[in-house]
Amino acid sequence: MKLRNAVAAAGAACALVLALPGSALAAEGQFHYKYTDDFGQEQRVILDDPDSGECIDLYAVGSDEVEPGYAPQNQTDSWVTVYADAGCAGSSWRLRPMGRPATDHLRVRSVRFEVRGEPGAA
């Protein structure tokens, strides 16, 4: 009887963990990029544990009406594709997990993080 209760409790706990949103669909770590604000000052933005599998238009640069961001750095555990245009359109480049900062010449407006366990699914 005790074994049956333990198995039932373990099953319920497992179901609860699988039902929690986000953890399996988020890259763990930080993604950084820079942009120049309206006053000509360089600003740095950090995304903590960004969502995976969806297009993210980046803060302050995610519109084609403003200057793009630059020098992206992927310090997450997932591959990320960075895009030159908003809406994950235009030229794109993939950045490896835990990588070095890209050059200031790499322009970025939007990103998509790969869902872990699905290689090439950026």
Each residue's pLDDT tens digit, 62-84: 887 899 999 999 999 999 999 99
pLDDT of residue 116: 72
Exposed/middle/buried for residue 72 (C-beta within 10 Å: 0-12, 13-18, 19+): buried
Identify residue 66 by its one-letter amino acid code.
Answer: V
pTM, two decimals, is 0.75
In terms of Cα–Cα distance, which of 114, 112, 121 is closest to 56?
Answer: 112
In the chain, the percentage of residues whose pLDDT exceeds 70 is: 75
pLDDT of residue 60: 96
| Average pLDDT of the chain to the nearest whole number | 83
